[in-house]
Chain A
Amino acid sequence: MTLTLERYGVMLRSTIFCLCGALGVVSADPAKVPLVLTLLLPALLACCVRLRSLHRPLPPTLLLVSDAAVVVLTGLSQPVLGGDVADAMVEAIVGISVITFQHEWATRPVVGFTLAALGAVVCALGDMFSSPAHGADAVHLARMLVEVGLSRGAHVIVRARARAADRSAATRAALRREAEVAAARRATEREHLATLHDTACATLLMVSQGDDQDWSWLPLRAARDLDALSAMPGFGTESIDLSVLLGCVPEGVGQARVQVKLLVTGPLAIPSGPGLAIFNGVREAVANVARHAGVREAELRAWTEDGAVVVELSDAGRGFAPESVPARRRGISASIVGRMKAVGGSASVASRPGAGTRVQWRWQERPPASPPTDGTRAAGLPGPPGARAQRAAVVRFIRGQLLQGARLAALLISLVAQFTVSLGQLTAHQDVYGPAWAQTSAFICLAAVAATGGAYLLRGRRIPPRVRGWSVGAVLAVSATGAFTLPPERLAGPEDWVFGLIGWHALFLLADLRVRVLAVFLGAHVGLNTLAMFVLGSPTVAESTGMGLSTVSTCGFQFSVGVLLMHLLHDGAPAAGSAAAREEELRTRERIHEGMQRDHKERYRALTATTVPLLAGLGHGVLSPHDDDVRLRCGVEAARMRRLFAESDAVADPLLNELRACVEVAEHQGVTVSLAIRGRRKEVPVEVRRDLIDPVAVVLGHTRTTARVTVVWTPRAVRVSVVGQDFADGRRTGDLVRAHHRASASKVALAKGAHRGSVWVETMWEAPITSGVDLT
């Protein structure tokens, strides 16, 4: 905005300089023209320098000198030219210059004021030299200084408005952004949960409930479910235990069966993406052993080495020369090496004819690449809805605020000008007007218009069309009164307070309309005055030139302010507004992206660790649905997923809701579950709820007859407990509960007990005291 104002200031000043200079030269005594030109031409040059600087920045000192030169040279031309026309010309040029300086040097008000003071001094000196008898015209000087102050004031008001608009727009945008982020996250989350529900969860539930049926469809279905799970965004970052996954590597059947000797030391945590790539590679390599090696056993080892996970499959078969494998055979290159490369790992095959084969996979965690700061990665994401409408709203908002500021500034100028300079003129020249009361009532009428308009503007409201119509009419009437109750030769002279003033009233009344309307008004105003001049008297050339100069310097100035406003409001603001809106949209996308990543990591962390090996095992026939233990595991996984789905329900007691989701799965499997709650419910964060409930899902999944689930809310803590009767494989489940529990970060305490076939597991979470839990 400051730039636009500066450009405007320089342009206006140069235009006025050229016009008034030309008028001055035309009306001057021909003998003095060369001398005047020697003064005005360098000034014109200085103007050109300044214009040029708009496109190519020049050092501020040079600009300062050129600005000062314009003023001083113009001032010097006054005594050289001599006469009233020269006075008016210099006054017009210097007057406009000191005003525009305030905008050109808006960021350095001191320079602006200094230049203005210089202008005033030049004017005063010029007056003194050209007509030593009169001395400096105090009224002119005062008026100039008032104009400078008003110019600065107007600038400050408009800028403050623009800033307030920016701040306010930013606050609104932030609120809206949060809402959009939340909505988008909910939407994507629902979609993913639906996928999960239709695929993995449904399969696992079926396995957990049935026993003696035809399961031939299961491997294909489980493999597809795993694919669906892997396709979800954010998949691949959750950690899983590679040793469990390697235990699921199929050995093949009948002739193709290879006995895989698994030698793995301890759990090996690895993100599920690389984990699955290794798993699939190993599967392919085991099949290769069956097909090509000529042996029926292989050794599968896995270990960590310098922070890298290494998996090695070796056989003592007949081996081969790797370089002799034709390129079209894709087993090794695609299934083993390609897959590992795709997830940032490596695989290698070492073999010699007669010396067996060794396939090795390596995967090492690299520091995560710093996220790109540009918006490219967010480009493919769902955008916030209604971005275009919002952009338009932002533009409208900023435009409204700017307009309000500009009108306030115009109102301030008209009021100050009216009650300082114009009031002074009116009282000093009462005897000139005929009749004087007409001029006085015109003055009061104008003040009333300003007061009415001001009352609306200060309350931040629009001026109603009727009020505006009446006001404009009144202002025109004042113009006519001013023109026809003053002797024609005095028009636009020191006695005419109306001519220069009412343009400002028109400006604040008409600022939000098209600039044409303002032009018509000013035209009518000038026309009235010209009419009065020619009807009531016969003007001389000097008088006409004076009138022209006045028109250019005052009405021209006012009109140019109107044009500037139009420019700011109809071009500048939309540009700023849409830039802000685009930036906002991008920011929103980024936040949606971040949020989704985080959600996924959190939610599927626990799930992937247990679900992926199960689906992989079922998909490759290593885990049998006829196996009691496998069915129990499926039941637990299904309950976990049901709990996860329940997380997104909007209910008053989410803990109970999620608990019930697990209980329902157990009830489907024929377990009688009693659920009892004591104490007053409190807020529990979602990640804590996960850890509180997960052991319940495990215990319920292994209970065969009855179970009791309780929730006890004490003033400090929440305790979730499950007692399962007729427990299947209690020892192993105890391990399961504990193993899962260790991986979590929340401070949920776990206690276990067993007595005569029943297992009791309790989880407890103490709310931190700072979280505002009441201790009554």
Chain B
Amino acid sequence: MTSNSPVSVIAIDDHPAILSGVEAWCAASRRPINVVATGNSVRDAWTAPGSTADVVILDLQLKEGGPAFGGLRRLVDEGRQVVVYSMRDDEATAVNCLDLGAATFLTKNEGRDHLVEATLAAADERPYMPPALAGALGTNARADRPRLSSREENVLIEWFQSESKELVAQRLNISVRTVNSYLDRVRIKYANVGRPARTKASLVARAIQDGLVDVEDL
């Protein structure tokens, strides 16, 4: 996918106001994002026109019951790029979604600032790290977590705290570019551990191809 070609998405949420918000943000994007379908169930992503969308924006907490981890897993196994967009703000859920193979994890608070960018990054199979996710990864204590350097952990936590890459860069006396590369590297390290998934593999492959990480790093 070229860096300016239009991106098609399906937004799944059981709250109409959220769907309207998503549509509005997508319409305002510099790079065209077409919301080809909206729905209130994961099933909508399997039927046309939802099944053709490049990216699935998925609310985890649908009417059907608990978190839709099962629905997420099936979409990922089919090779779909899923941006999880959730009310849940706990680190366990975030880390779980990444492990299952979601492209990224966003809390509803972060929608305005990050949803469009996260969607575009998912369409391009590029890593994207919003602050809430960074906080979850920075404090992740699961046994299967990848090994991070202390600098990487610091960048994660400070990005979570300040929500400003400028402030992080200033604090650590590095450039915003370097802050981004730390965040990308962490995201790739996470894609390289845990449950195997096609989306994770393509993320790693793309990162190596773009020179974001060395094969030796992994």
Q: Which residues of A contact B (CB under 8 A)?
A: 674, 676, 678-680, 708, 710, 712-715, 719, 721, 723, 751, 753, 755-756, 758, 760, 762, 776
Contacts and interface: CB of A to CB of B under 8 A. Distances in A.
A676 B89 contact: yes
Interface in B66-113: 89, 91, 109
A723 B167 contact: yes
A755 B160 contact: no
A710 B171 contact: no
21 contacts: A678-B138, A679-B139, A708-B161, A710-B135, A712-B135, A712-B157, A712-B161, A714-B138, A719-B157, A721-B158, A721-B161, A723-B164, A753-B167, A753-B170, A755-B167, A756-B166, A760-B161, A760-B162, A762-B158, A762-B161, A776-B141
B153 interface: yes
Contact of A755 (B136, B141, B170): B170
By CB atoms of chain B within 10 A, which of A678, A714, A753 has the most?
A: A678
A661 B132 CA distance: 23
A17 to B, nearest CB: 85
Contacts of A713: 139
B141 A680 contact: yes
B163 interface: yes
B136 A678 contact: yes
Interface in B134-168: 135-136, 138-139, 141, 153, 157-158, 160-164, 166-167
A676 B138 CA distance: 14
Given A676-B89, A676-B132, A753-B170, A714 B157 contact: yes
Contacts of A723: 161-164, 167
A710 B138 CA distance: 13
Nearest to B132: A676
A758 B162 CA distance: 10
A760 B172 CA distance: 13
Query: Sorted from nearest, which 4 A-B pairs have the closest CB atoms?
Result: A679-B139, A721-B161, A678-B135, A678-B139
A710 B166 contact: no
A255 to B, nearest CB: 53
B211 to A, nearest CB: 29
B157 A676 contact: no
B109 A674 contact: yes
A279 B157 CA distance: 46
By CB atoms of chain B within 10 A, which of A708, A713, A760, A762 has the most?
A: A760
Nearest to A774: B141
By CB atoms of chain A within 10 A, which of B161, B162, B163, B171 has the most?
A: B161
Contacts of B132: 676
A723 B158 CA distance: 11
A652 B42 CA distance: 38
A676 to B, nearest CB: 7
Contacts of A751: 171
Contacts, number: 65
A715 B135 contact: no
B23 to A, nearest CB: 24
A776 B158 CA distance: 21
By CB atoms of chain A within 10 A, which of B136, B141, B166, B167 has the most?
A: B167
Interface residues of B, number: 21
A681 to B, nearest CB: 11
Contacts of A755: 164, 166-167, 170
Majority secondary structure of chain B interface residues (helix, strand, loop or mixed): helix
B161 A714 contact: no
A676 B171 contact: no
A762 B157 CA distance: 11
Contact of A676 (B135, B153, B166): B135
A676 B141 CA distance: 18
Contacts of A712: 135, 138-139, 157, 160-161
A760 B91 contact: no
Nearest to B109: A674
By CB atoms of chain A within 10 A, which of B89, B136, B138, B158 has the most?
A: B158
Nearest to A679: B139
Given A710-B135, A721-B162, A776-B141, A678 B91 contact: yes
B167 A710 contact: no
A118 B141 CA distance: 82
Nearest to A764: B157
A708 B160 CA distance: 10
Interface in B149-197: 153, 157-158, 160-164, 166-167, 170-171
Contact of B164 (A714, A715, A760, A776): A760
A714 B136 contact: no
Contact of A715 (B141, B160, B170): B141
Given A676-B89, A676-B135, A723-B161, 16 more contacts: A678-B91, A679-B139, A680-B139, A708-B162, A710-B135, A712-B160, A713-B139, A715-B141, A723-B162, A723-B163, A755-B164, A755-B166, A755-B170, A760-B161, A760-B162, A760-B164
Given A678-B135, A776-B141, A710 B170 contact: no
A776 B157 CA distance: 18
Contacts of B109: 674
A560 to B, nearest CB: 76
A677 to B, nearest CB: 8
A760 B136 contact: no
A715 B136 CA distance: 13
Contacts of A710: 135, 160-161
A760 B135 contact: no
A676 B109 CA distance: 11
A170 B92 CA distance: 51
A719 B161 contact: yes
Nearest to A723: B162
A760 B167 contact: yes
A676 B135 CA distance: 9
Contacts of A753: 162, 167, 170-171
By CB atoms of chain A within 10 A, which of B89, B162, B170 has the most?
A: B162
Contacts of B166: 755-756
A678 B160 contact: yes
Contacts of B170: 753, 755
A680 B161 CA distance: 16
B144 to A, nearest CB: 14
A293 to B, nearest CB: 54
A714 B139 contact: yes
A751 B164 CA distance: 15
B121 to A, nearest CB: 22
A758 to B, nearest CB: 7
B130 to A, nearest CB: 12
A756 B164 CA distance: 11
Contacts of B161: 708, 710, 712, 719, 721, 723, 760, 762
Nearest to A678: B135
Contacts of A715: 141
B109 to A, nearest CB: 6
B106 to A, nearest CB: 13
A418 B157 CA distance: 84
A712 B138 CA distance: 9
Contacts of A678: 91, 135-136, 138-139, 157, 160
A714 B160 contact: no
Contacts of B167: 723, 753, 755, 758, 760
A713 B153 CA distance: 12
A776 B142 CA distance: 9
A753 B158 CA distance: 11
B34 to A, nearest CB: 31
B136 to A, nearest CB: 6
Contacts of B91: 678-679
B44 to A, nearest CB: 31
B154 to A, nearest CB: 10
A753 to B, nearest CB: 5
Nearest to A720: B161
B210 to A, nearest CB: 28
A439 B115 CA distance: 107
A681 B135 CA distance: 14
A710 B166 CA distance: 18
A762 to B, nearest CB: 6
